[in-house]
Amino acid sequence: MARSDEYGLMDHPSWWSVVDSLNLGSAFRMDLEQLARRPVSDHSPSGKTLSFLIDEGIAQKAVNLLPFFQHIVIKCGDQGALVVMCIPAGEAVTCGWKFERSHPAQRYVVAQGKSGEMVVVQHFPPLPVTSLANVTGAGDSFVGALLAMLADSPTILYHPKTIHQAISIAQRAAVLTLQSRAAVSPLLSTLSKE
């Protein structure tokens, strides 16, 4: 919709200005390509890689939306979840990502913008599902758990440790619902921060 002729949001000069200020050059692309070579999960014998992030343009489309949305969380089904975010310069100074550099082996890419803002792309492997009872409501459970944590702690995504905690809890919420015959697992209230 953002690219549609009707709205033309990505043709607007302010969009170009924001994207240009992110300073996502060849180093960012090389780091993203290294990330795409990683397996979907280090514990799964499926042999699938994260190449879908580049081949299907998922990472690029998400980055193109950063002028409109500061945080983008993409559920990728049995391929895990992806977080793409732009941390504004004022917040980047104090956030936990400040001293991080890209580390594709740890599933994240970090880029520093021209004005001090930071772009983070991070993949989270899928959690195992031991028994699949129902797919209805799994996405809602994921989003609901994540939103509850963000309401409690709005900066939870701004630290490498707490973002792992948040996405892990959201993924566990989705797995509980996948393993339940109910549209939303009644066990969601048993989830806790670890």
Asked if 112 and 147 sit in the same domain, the reply is no
The reply to whether 96 and 157 lie within a common domain is no
56 with 144, same domain: the answer is: no
Domain co-membership, 193 together with 112: no
Q: Are 26 and 102 in the same domain?
A: yes
Same domain membership, residue 186 and residue 94 = no
107, 148: one domain: no
Count of domains observed in the chain? 2
Q: Which one of 126, 156, 183 terminates a domain?
A: 126
Range of the domain at 30: 1-126
| Domain closes at, from 85, 101, 126 | 126
pLDDT the model gives residue 187: 85
Residues 68 and 41 in one domain: yes
CB contact at 8 A, 123 and 38: yes
Do 62 and 121 fall into the same domain?
yes
Asked if 109 and 25 sit in the same domain, the reply is: yes
Task: Measure the CA–CA gap between 192 and 149, rounded to whole angstroms.
Answer: 10
Report the alpha-carbon distance of residue 63 to residue 109 in Å, rounded: 12
Helices 138-152 and 160-178, packing angle to 10 deg: 150
pLDDT tens figures, 121-136: 999 999 988 888 888 8
Among 96, 92, 99, CA closest to 115: 92
**pLDDT at residue 91 greater than cutoff 90:** no
For 116, phi then psi, to 5°, come to 95, -5
Task: Give the global pTM.
Answer: 0.88
| Residue 179 and residue 99 in one domain | no
| Same domain membership, residue 76 and residue 90 | yes
Q: What is the pLDDT of residues 5-37, one digit of tens each?
A: 566 667 777 777 788 878 888 999 999 999 999
